[in-house]
Amino acid sequence: MMETPKDQESLDLTTMHMGPSHPAMHGTIHIKVQLAGERIENAEVNIGYLHRGFEKEAEAHCWQQIFPYTDRLNYVSPMLNNVGYAMAVEKLCGVTVPERAQYIRVIVGEIARIADHLTYMAAQTMEMGAFTPYFYVMKGRDWLWDLLEEVSGARLTHSYVRIGGVAWDLSEGFKEKTIEILPRIDQVVVELDKLMTRNRIFLDRMQDIAVISAEEAISYGWTGPCLRGSGVDYDVRKAHPYLVYDRMDFEIPIGTDGDNMDRYMVRMEEMRQSMRIIRQALDQIEPGPVMIEDRLVVIPQKAATYNTIEDMINHFKLVIDGIRPPRGEVYSYTEAGNGELGFYLVSDGTGRPVKCRVRPPCFMGMAALKQLIEGHMVADVIPTFDTINMIGGECDR
């Protein structure tokens, strides 16, 4: 790609609008760039086109009704959002989940993480013009979604996790199916690797593009694969182990120079690590209850609800008034597909939150996009935007 000669910088800047509905951008976002020739002199990133009022909705619903909304935050890996929100409310109520439920959360969460990264790969490659890997990836993602659908009943928006555990136990033969599917996913990753990672055009558009230093990344609040791409080994699963991640043996891949390629490679490796975690979890998991025993949190069995007034009232009050956490505020954080997914909950002791703030990882990424793309070619906007992996529902909420 030709570099614009310095002496042409005196030329008038061309203003160009990318988005809100742009071919090579998933999600709706508006980037206004000012070009000197092909180089971006000045960029303005506008988000918010998918602001759906998550917090307002949450403040109008009771605690357990918020799960479906969390599904649609990072809709590429809803299961991880479910887990994150459930753990936040459990921290607020001070309840601990049965061990089997914790394992199940880890398993479905990691499956969702692989699906998340696969989807990222699909978007990344497709929007850079390589359509073939897209089909390979979709094939693999559908296998993973089959697993999640079998557990939760929904392909995408699962709402499978509950406050105090998970909705129901794993399905029959889930373990075998997973063991059987994981190698095929592995194969998909290998194929992807072969197709993209050493592809000349791909490398040209990924390597040394949109470099960000560790300090800047931290100052921008980056977390997750993007931060690790800049060489900071911060992963909530290792730094502050939750659920049963401390019993898992896995590595945190980190990049070296924080360019697009590193962010891509980190995700590529994370898929393999997630598969390791799933295999270990499937080995370690023991039979047991998947829900806590607390009539103030868990709704009673349907049979009892329909036949005795006590359980009817119990069910009624839990569903209509919601569970009643104590007064207080907590900030709970888990590692989601894009990084640290935080929930800041404020309770006044009633059935609905005073405040249910979600800390969206890719919001932080988007905040840095302006700085990343300035000085690069206009064509570099797309791969850079992709490596940040903005998910509209999460970024705009």
Partner 1 sequence: MSAKALERLEQRFAECVLETHDFRGDETAVVDRAAIVDVASWLRDEPDLAFNMLTDMTAVDWLLEGREPRFEVVYQLYSVEQRHRLRIKVQVPEEDPVVDTLTRLYGIADWLEREIWDMYGIRFKGHPNLKRILLYEEFVGHPLRKDYPKEKRQPLVRRPENEIADVLARRGKARPLPQPPPRSAR
Partner 2 sequence: MANETEEKKTDKTEPPGPELVEISIDGRKYQAPKGENLLQFMLEQGLEISYFCYHPGLSVVAVCRQCLVGLAKMNKLVPACQTPIGPGMEVDNSSDKVLAARRQLLEFTLVNHPVDCPICDKAGECILQRHYMDWDHAPSKIDHSKVRKPKHVDLGPRIVLDDERCILCTRCVRFMAEVAKDPQLVVSKRGSKAVLTVAPGRKLDHPYSLNVVDICPVGALTDKDFRFKMRVWELSSTRSVCNGCATGCPCEVHHRRDRIYRLVPRRYGNHDINDNWMCDFGRYTYKAVAADRLSLPRVQGKETGWDEAIGFVADRLKVALEGDRARIGVVLGADATNEDNFAASRLAFDFLGAPRVYLGAEPEGDAGDDFLRDNDPNPNRAGAAACGADIGTAAELADDLAEGKLAALYVVGERLHLPAEALAKAQALDLFAVQATHDRSPLVQSAQVALPAAAWAEVDGTITNRENRTQRLRAAVAPVDFARPHWQILVQVARRAGLTLDFVSPRAIFEAMQQEIELFKDAEWGAELPPQLLRYAGSRG
Partner 3 sequence: MGLEFETGRLADAVNWARKFSLFQYPFVTACCGMEYMALWGPRYDVARFGAEFPRFSPRQADMLMVVGTVTERQGPVLKRIYEQICEPKWVVSFGVCASSGGFYQNYATMPGIDHIIPVDVYIPGCPPRPEAIIDALVMLQEKIQSGRGWSQRQYFVEQERRRLGLDQEGGRQ
The residues of the shown chain that bind partner 3, judged by CB under 8 A, are 20-24, 26-28, 48-53, 56-57, 60, 68-69, 71-72, 75-76, 119, 122, 134-135, 138-139, 141-142, 145, 155-157, 392-393
Among partner 2, partner 1, partner 3, none, residue 312 binds (CB under 5-8 Å by kind): partner 2
Q: Which residue is listed with tokens 């990691």?
A: 110
Q: In the structure, how many helices (H) and strands (E) does the chain have? A: 16, 8
Burial (Cβ within 10 Å: 0-12, 13-18, ≥19) of residue 185: buried
Query: Cis (ω within 30 of 0) for the bond into 98?
Result: no
CB 319 within 8 A of CB 313: no
Least Å distance, CB 279 to partner 1, is 28
Q: Is residue 17 close enough to count as binding partner 1 by CB under 8 A?
A: no
Of 179-218, which residues contact partner 1 (CB under 8 A)? 215-216, 218
Binding part of the chain for partner 1, among 34-42, 44-52, 65-73, 194-202 by CB under 8 A, reads: 44-52
String marking each residue 49-78 x if it binds partner 2 according to CB under 8 A: -----------x-x----------------
Residue 7, Cβ neighbours under 10 Å: how many? 7
Closest contact distance (angstroms) between CB of 30 and partner 3 is 9
Report the residue number, 106 or 391, with the smaller CB distance to partner 3.
391
Beta bridge partners of 268: none
Burial class of residue 30 (count of CB atoms within 10 Å of its CB; 0-12, 13-18, 19+): middle
13: three-class secondary structure by DSSP: coil
Count Cβ atoms below 10 Å from residue 288 Cβ, excluding itself.
Answer: 11
Judge contact between 346 and 335, C-beta under 8 A.
no
Binding mask 334-353 for partner 2 (x = CB under 8 A): ----------------xxx-
Question: Among 197, 222, 235, which Cα is nearest to 372's?
Answer: 222
Q: Is 355 in the site for partner 1 (CB under 8 A)?
A: yes
Smallest separation (angstroms) from partner 3 to the CB of 383 = 17
User: Per CB under 8 A, which region of 165-173, 284-292, 322-330, 376-384 contacts partner 1?
Assistant: 322-330
Q: Is-contact 392 50, C-beta < 8 A?
A: yes
Query: Measured from the CB atom, is 57 or 257 closer to partner 1?
Result: 57
Task: Give min distance, CB of 68 to partner 3, in A.
Answer: 7
Q: Which does 369 bind (CB under 5 to 8 A by kind): partner 2, partner 3, partner 1, none?
A: none
| Shortest reach from residue 63's CB to partner 2, in Å | 11
Tell me the closest approach of the beta carbon of residue 388 to partner 3, in angstroms.
Answer: 17
CA nearest neighbour of 397 among 13, 47, 45: 47
